[in-house]
Amino acid sequence: MSDLALLIPELILVVMAVGLILVARRIQRTPVAPVGTVFAAMAAALASGWVLSWGSKTGFGGMIILDGYSQFFKILSAATLALAVLLSVRSLDGEQVPRAEYHALLLLATTGMMLAVSAHDLLPLYLSLETMTLCSYILVGIRVERPSSNEAAIKYFLLGSFASALLIYGISLTYGVTGTTDFAGITAALSGHGPGTNLLLLVAIGLVSAGLAFKIAAVPLHAWAPDAYQGASAPVAAFLAAGSKAVGLAALGRVCLAAYSSEGHVLSAVLAWLAGLSIVVGSIIALSQTDMKRLLAYSSITHAGYALLGLIAGTPDGASATMTYAFFYVFMTLGAFGVVIALGERGEKLDGYRGLAAQRPGTAVLMLVFLMSLIGIPPTAGFAAKFVVILSVVRSGHMALAVLAVVCSVVSAFFYMRVAVFMYMNEPQESPPARFPVAVFAALAVAALVTVIGGISPGSLAPWAVSP
């Protein structure tokens, strides 16, 4: 019983998901599903905080851990779910998407995320990540009548299966070396070896890192993201960009610090390469994008790189820098996707932003705030996030990587500001977009508030960003 109590947040989501599926036929035309899902997300977030008040503990024979780190990401996942649901309110209207199932899949994917961040064993980690990814495959392809959506789902599925295979292969090699899949057990088993001596272990670490790098779309395992985001509906893309990335980072952070910490050097090198490549490749390819969802996909690849910078140091400080980054990133990226969604069809291509500031000044200002945050210009949260991760890199002594990261942020400033140029400095070519629903407005307001307040008072987050 006490073990199950650790999973109250997940249970709330699962119960809601099952409930929605059971009554799916009756609620297809009613707002029950979105409203219920938002409330379930809020309840899960509250429960995550409440469960933490019992103190850190492990359950299910050490497979599940409950600590500040896990609950931080659980609350973040719940927030992602709630905002994604609010953002999908209108985009579901014109589509042949079964509402109850759509929301049930979002709930189940979030359940997977929550389990993944509290996994303290490679196998539950794998299973929960697969839960998340399987739901994501369907969500990407849920607009069944659209060929682009189907294509995106298939691509995502094929590449995703490949990455899962890498992950499970890495896990099996780790088991071969250490005789356990439990994080504590792995650390104990490895403490006897000299670091870097066991080739099999190095391969295992590489494979596990690769499997997790896929989830956060770090280069060179990023290829799925642009296609999947473009083919998926914008709210699903937002959900993937924010949630999947945050959880991938959380898992990677836990694996680095809790399981393979004795191989810190190897991990640092692997992560440094992943981060550097993601930042460079993501920001350069983004320059030529004209589709907003693809643009934001490459932006998310770049941000995966920035977030990884914190983990390179392999220290608790570095991990909390990554946590801060993930937190702010989720809100600013959901905000940017939110504007894309609010503008409807027009928002999905770069040209649609021409003259937006003349037609919808408020929406344009919101987008400008999110863009500034994505670039990392103060006083927005993106700057605070960039500051802490670069501080972490500088502390770890990778000065060249720090310079590379900031120089690439100039490149990214160029492509983000192109949107601002279109909004402010071009004449409108299309009729003004329709007013957007209150739900979308609420989501945008939350994202904007976090983005601005996070920039003005970044310290307010610090007490919660505690590494594993």
Partner 1 sequence: MIPYPVLTTTTFLPLVGAAFILLFGSERVARWVALITTLVTLTASLPLYLFFDKASSALQFVESADWIPSLNIAYGMGVDGISLPFIFLATLLTILCIGASWEAIRVRVREFYAALLVAETAMIGLFSASNLFLFFVFWELMLVPVFLLIGVWGGPGRVYASIKFLVFTFSGSVLMLVGMIAIYRSCGTLDFKALALARASLQPADQAWLFAAFLAAFAVKVPMFPLHTWLPNAHTEAPTAGSVILAGILLKMGAYGFLRVSLPILPQGVQLFLKPMLIISVVAIVWGAYVTLVQTDVKRLIAFSSVSHMGFVTLGIFTLNPGGVEGAILQMINHGIISAALFLCVGMIYERTHTREIKDYGGVAKTAPVYSTLLALFCLAAAGTPGLNSFVGEFLIVGGAFKTQAWLGAMAVWGVALGTAYLIWLYYRVVMGEMNPGLTGLKLELNAREVATLAPLAALAVCLGLYPECVLSYLRAPVTQLLATRIAP
Q: Are 184 and 257 in contact (CB under 8 A)?
A: no
Cα dist from 276 to 255, 303, 455, whole Å: 20, 11, 25
Q: Which of 42, 127, 406, 442 is the binder for partner 1 (CB under 8 A)?
A: 406
Residues 370 and 382: their CA atoms lie apart, in Å, by 9
Q: Rank residues 6 and 389 by Cβ distance to partner 1 and give the closer one.
A: 389
What is the nearest approach in angstroms of partner 1 to the Cβ of residue 201? 32
H helix or E strand, kind and range, residue 65: strand 64-66
The H or E element that residue 353 is part of is none
Question: Which residue, 148 or 457, is less far from partner 1 as judged by CB?
Answer: 457
- List the x/- string, 330-369, binding to partner 1 by CB under 8 A: ---------------------------xx--x---x--x-
By the rule CB under 8 A, 452 interacts with partner 1: no
| Best CA proximity match to 402, nearest among 413, 391, 412, 410 | 391
Question: Least distance in Å: CB of 221 to partner 1?
Answer: 27
Does 413 contact partner 1 by CB under 8 A?
yes
For residue 425, the minimal CB distance to partner 1 (Å) is 5
H or E element at residue 74: helix 68-91
Q: Is 410 in the site for partner 1 (CB under 8 A)?
A: yes
Would you count residue 377 as binding partner 1 (CB under 8 A)?
yes
According to the 3-state scheme, what is the secondary structure of 268-312? HHHHHHHHHHHHHHHHHHHCCCCEHHHHHHHHHHHHHHHHHHHHH
**How many chain residues are in contact with partner 1, going by CB under 8 A?**
36
3-state secondary structure of 349: strand
By CB under 8 A, residue 453 contacts partner 1:
no
Of the two residues 226 and 276, which places its CB atom closer to partner 1 in the complex? Answer: 276
User: Taking Cα atoms as reference points, which of 408, 420, 438 lies closest to residue 370?
Assistant: 420
- For partner 1, give the closer residue by CB, 198 or 359: 359
Closer CB to partner 1, residue 102 or residue 327? 327
Find the binder of partner 1 among 165, 188, 403, 438 (CB under 8 A): 403
Considering Cα of 178, then 179, then 182, then 184, what sign does the dihedral take?
Answer: negative
Relative orientation angle of helices 316-342 and 292-312, to the nearest 10 degrees: 170
Closest approach, Cβ 458 to partner 1, in A, equals: 6
- Rule CB under 8 A: is residue 148 a binding residue for partner 1? no
Q: How far is the CB of 45 from partner 1 (least distance, A)?
A: 23
Position among 98, 395, 442, 452 found at the interface with partner 1 (CB under 8 A): 395
The answer to the question of residue 287 lying near partner 1 (CB under 8 A) is: no
> Closest distance between partner 1 and the C-beta of residue 289, in Å?
17
- Closest separation between CB of residue 416 and partner 1, Å? 10
In the complex with partner 1, the residue whose CB is nearer, 337 or 383, is: 383
Least Cα distance to 445 among 387, 370, 355, 348 occurs for 370
* Angle, in degrees to the nearest 10, between helices 316-342 and 438-456: 150
Q: Which of 316, 378, 432, 437 binds partner 1 (CB under 8 A)?
A: 378
Residues 417-446 that bind partner 1 (CB under 8 A): 417, 420-421, 424-425
Show Cβ contacts of residue 218 under 8 Å, excluding neighbours closer than 6 positions: 274, 275, 277, 278, 301, 304, 305, 308
Burial (Cβ within 10 Å: 0-12, 13-18, ≥19) of residue 34: buried
Segment contacting partner 1 by CB under 8 A, of 18-26, 108-116, 283-291, 453-461 = 453-461
Rule CB under 8 A: choose which of 136, 278, 409, 467 binds partner 1.
409
Q: Which of 137, 156, 325, 383 binds partner 1 (CB under 8 A)?
A: 383
The span of 31-39, 115-123, 132-140, 389-397 binding partner 1 (CB under 8 A) equals 389-397
Among the listed residues 60, 387, 432, 453, the single contact to partner 1 using CB under 8 A? 387
Task: List, in order, residues 6 or more apart from 144 with CB less than 8 Å away.
Answer: 96, 150
Rounded CA separation 208/186 (Å): 14
Burial call 406-445: b when 16+ CB within 10 Å, e when fewer: eebbebbbebbbbbbebbbeeeeeeeebeebeebbbbbbe
User: Closest distance between partner 1 and the C-beta of residue 2, in Å?
Assistant: 34
Whichever of 183 and 464 has its CB closer to partner 1, that residue is 464
Q: How far apart are CA 23 and CA 101, in angstroms?
A: 10
Residues that bind partner 1 (CB under 8 A): 357-358, 361, 365, 368, 372, 375, 377-379, 383, 386-388, 390-391, 394-395, 399, 402-403, 406-407, 409-410, 413-414, 417, 420-421, 424-425, 457-459, 462
